[in-house]
Amino acid sequence: MDAISHLTKQHETAKSLFEQIEASTDPAARQRLLDEVIAALRVHTKIEEEVLYPIVRDEMKGGSKLFEEAMQEHQEAKKAMNELDGMAPDDPAWQGKFEILMHGVLHHAKEEETEMFPKLRETVSGDRLNQLGEQLEADEQGKLVVDLSKDELMEQAEASDIDGRSRMNKAELERALGHR
């Protein structure tokens, strides 16, 4: 499966989980589904940031802007996920935080599918997209660990507008970006 198909399939899984959460009235089921979507989103954002986005930034016309926007949206999603981590579905603030996460992720996925992915198909060969798909799958299964340089991490931290990034070492940048 090529990289774009792989990532689009992950988007569909997230959409389905969000729909199930919205349809459920059982707090335990909502929490279980939320935990599942958060775990999937953490893997998804990691593989996009480590494998796909450097190609978008470096090889696509207008890729730097798409890269920065995607990284900012990822940071917003990570913030919402972290806020939801300590909340129960019956918490009065839970629904609002959930909606922020859901709408942000769905907006991000739609932008990728309508803007970034078509441009990527024009820029990158089918063979390379297939190779990237294999990389994404391996990374998703924990078989591939992409070791970004401190400069690459700093670039992602800048695009994500992470406070204090200039004073962070490599491990701190990885944690702030949610890579490790």
Per-residue pLDDT of the chain (180 residues; tens, 9 = 90+): 999 999 999 999 999 999 999 999 999 999 999 999 998 998 899 889 888 999 999 999 999 999 999 999 999 999 999 899 889 999 999 999 999 999 999 999 999 999 999 999 999 999 999 998 888 887 666 554 456 677 777 777 776 778 888 888 877 877 777 655
Contact at 8 Å (CB) between 17 and 36? yes
Q: Which CATH architecture has domain 3-146?
A: Up-down Bundle (1.20)
Distance (Å, whole) CA 85 – CA 21? 15
Given this model, what pLDDT does residue 146 score? 55
Contacts of 69 (CB under 8 A, 6+ apart): 111
Q: Report the first-to-last Cα separation within the chain, whole angstroms.
A: 26
The domain segmentation of the chain, as residue ranges, is 3-146, 147-180
Report the pLDDT value the prediction gives residue 170, as an integer from 0 to 100.
74
Nearest to 43 by CA among 67, 14, 22: 14
